[in-house]
Chains A and B, each alone.
Chain A
């Protein structure tokens, strides 16, 4: 039982925003002959290696076939022309390697963690290459995995926080490809065909659409060989077309879903900014104070510490390929739902009117002082360089972050918030029995 649990609310990989101060991450980047972008950081202290390969192949590429990206990723690496599913899982475990995959709205992401010991390293890389790039889509495995996903989707229907999450995206994004749930819906998943997955794989899992990130005990020369080799058997292909820009709401929108739960699950927000937006720094800094830093934030102080209305409350931007959401969230007993909402709205409005000097300095100190913590492990570093590579952020993004934060004034923050956030045009979602 933690005193405070951070709710993983919005597609989370992208919330990781970060930077560092004195300690520096030296990133090297290049393209493979097949056109894949590579990001590399040498980290020799532990005899291990992390690789992440990100493709622009998230659920925003589903089209009408919601859940397609997610199902495709679930099937990748289950079988190859040479290896059965059983052989792949045995080999992975025999090597002590970790091979994982995941999908969000923007990307499909595949990762390998392995020891760099000679007898393990080469076979683990080869297994990763083969399962990622030589996938065979077996109808029996497809049906089985689809059944499992349908069980999970059925369970989600009875989970009020999940219902609130999906409803929020739906209300906010309307017909935009970000609107639907990453895993699709029961109907759309039932309608998927094996050929859909094969087509999606051929179209999106291609070298030109890949960003490879490498962190660990391998030299630059080795990293070049690894990246070249990893992509050698993938067709070059091409990047998909840009996603459409979402449009912000013209008026406030409210959706209350009656649900038999002891708490009401609340989400309120609007469309924020895309990754790389120059205003993001000021917005992020402001949000860190408003609701992005746990017990250092105003929402936590007002809603929990002063009034005891919630266990967790917060707010966050999720900058994405095109503008992602900003939202505030909480859950509270049904009788308190309206009171809690009012506190959130009042806190936001007061914050956007003026920021107290002491609070402002404290939150800057938090961000700048906390930079080294954000890059203190290989796992965190590979997450950041993958984000920088995938979203084409400048290589000195991490170095610049604390400097820019330091340079921002209260006025800069308020100006950016007033430009992007409009408290009178929010989407509000409540699931439960708000009294």
Chain B
């Protein structure tokens, strides 16, 4: 039963969840907008006396400029370093003492902060979260220490992890002029060159109520939440938000390839085709078709890639397909694989592309479509077991400019996808001239200067 999963790291776990779930009709969602432009979404879930608050800012690595990549992520770190009234670290201490859990995350598309607390503590976390929306203090000494922390984070995530490094370079190859090429954590040189003023400027530029969305899910009454939102967030003035240049990715006109030699004994492969997202697509039906296509290839153990490459042909130890349908900018349809011992990585590439060609030649069967639907429908119930997942989906949609009911309509949209539409998007987008391939090879060095770890690991 334990399939040995060796999937490549998905760039954004949330999107993976997103494309498979949808809000059930009985979930009550209330939508408000404060006078200063801040969006407020409240979803009731009374199963436990618990509530999650999330605040989402529309800023992430795709908003950044050359030389200052990772600034959004660095700012996320600084948001815990004190305000006019709170000392560095005090925010976390308050949440901890309430028995709460908190964290924050930055992606290509947004930066979000959250706390999960007992419902009686919602007001307190709303008060301190609203405080740091406008009152952050970036102290030079705190900033210098935290920049060191972020360089350690980069070492841990990237420098000592060749697969993550491959992903970073793959992305920067697939996108030439679009900011989608920026690594979320930033290039090491960029991190080292931040000045505290860069952070202050970035904060001032993007952290405004009219660039934020408040999402609350849990054991709450929407009107009560709205009152609290007005009280704590409603007093801030809206700001004129910067208008981003389009930076639309140029059309790819031929395959691109890179190699990376790294500290690994096993090669691996990442491939991607430029495709539209739900935000950028002229014809949204193409997005639904691509999403179903992704599930046909890699949705469950019975889907085509694990069945064909891992079980039937036995050339891959792990394979995956993925599509972030809700990216803010044009995105990628990705494939990846790791060969089993003795198999050439080129064979894995060939086999993955063969599966793509099959999709173009022969329409998928009704049975396969039904399987994808069944899994989506089930997931659409399962995800409601977590208030965090419910809130995250709402916040991520709204933060890229999609309506919050995108999910409610998802199943219906997926249901209407035809085999012909899947064939059409495969032919249109999954072409050789639109392909980027990145391969990780062992560098052949002995990184362990003592004995090899055969035997006792």
Contacts and interface: CB of A to CB of B under 8 A. Distances in A.
B98 A261 contact: no
Place the interface of chain A in its size category: 35 or more
A293 to B, nearest CB: 6
A99 B378 CA distance: 13
Contacts of A90: 302, 371
Nearest to A44: B47
A332 to B, nearest CB: 6
Nearest to A304: B149
A99 B4 CA distance: 13
Contacts of A394: none
A3 B104 contact: yes
A2 interface: yes
A94 B374 contact: yes
B77 A261 contact: no
Contacts of A294: 92, 96
A330 B151 CA distance: 15
B152 A163 contact: no
Contacts of B2: 70, 73-74, 100-103
Contacts of B370: 94
Interface in A371-385: 371-373, 375-379
Contact of A152 (B97, B99, B317): B317
A148 B450 contact: no
Contacts of A151: 6, 266, 317-318, 338-341
A144 interface: yes
B97, B145, B376, most chain A CB atoms within 10 A: B97
A222 interface: no
Contacts of B339: 151
B103 A147 contact: no
Interface in A274-333: 293-296, 301, 304-312, 331-333
B265 A158 contact: yes
A187 to B, nearest CB: 5
Given A93-B299, A296-B92, A331-B152, 12 more contacts: A46-B385, A77-B1, A92-B302, A93-B301, A95-B378, A100-B1, A145-B4, A148-B4, A157-B457, A310-B149, A333-B152, A373-B99
7 contacts: A93-B301, A151-B317, A152-B317, A157-B448, A157-B457, A296-B97, A305-B145
Interface of B: 1-4, 6, 47-50, 73, 76-77, 80, 88-89, 92-93, 96-107, 116-118, 121, 144-153, 155-157, 159-160, 184-185, 263-266, 299-303, 307, 310-311, 314, 317-318, 338-341, 370-371, 374-379, 381-382, 384-387, 445, 447-450, 452-457
Interface of A: 1-4, 21-23, 45-48, 70, 73-74, 76-78, 85-86, 89-90, 92-103, 110, 113-115, 120, 131-132, 144-145, 147-158, 160, 162-163, 166, 170, 180-181, 185-187, 257-263, 293-296, 301, 304-312, 331-333, 362-363, 365-373, 375-379
